[in-house]
Amino acid sequence: MTKNKKQAAKATKVTKEELQKVQTLVNTINNAQFRVGDLELEKANLLSVMMTSKNQFNELQGKLREKYGDVVVNIQDGSLKPREDEQVNTKN
């Protein structure tokens, strides 16, 4: 048997430095996984807020269309203008 194999067979613990490196890396991995989970929850909550807001916007848009007709609302000052055909300019 070589000296390294004899040492490995006799060792009952890793060195203090090796243990510290292992602990540091495991903690880093665990913290990263925890943060990813937090971010995924935040993402899910934000997606829910976005979908709710879009649904409310569509509902309000329908009410405004009933009241004012098919117009465009300027979101800066609230002014209304008739909706123009939204065709792409096809000039050559």
pLDDT tens for 9-59 read 788 999 999 999 999 999 999 999 999 999 999 999 999 999 999 999 999
pTM, full prediction: 0.63
Specify the DSSP element, H or E, that contains 35.
helix 16-68
For the chain, the domains span 15-82
CA dist., res. 70 & res. 41, Å (int): 39
In whole angstroms, give the CA distance from residue 88 to residue 38. Answer: 43
Structure confidence at residue 89 (pLDDT): 46
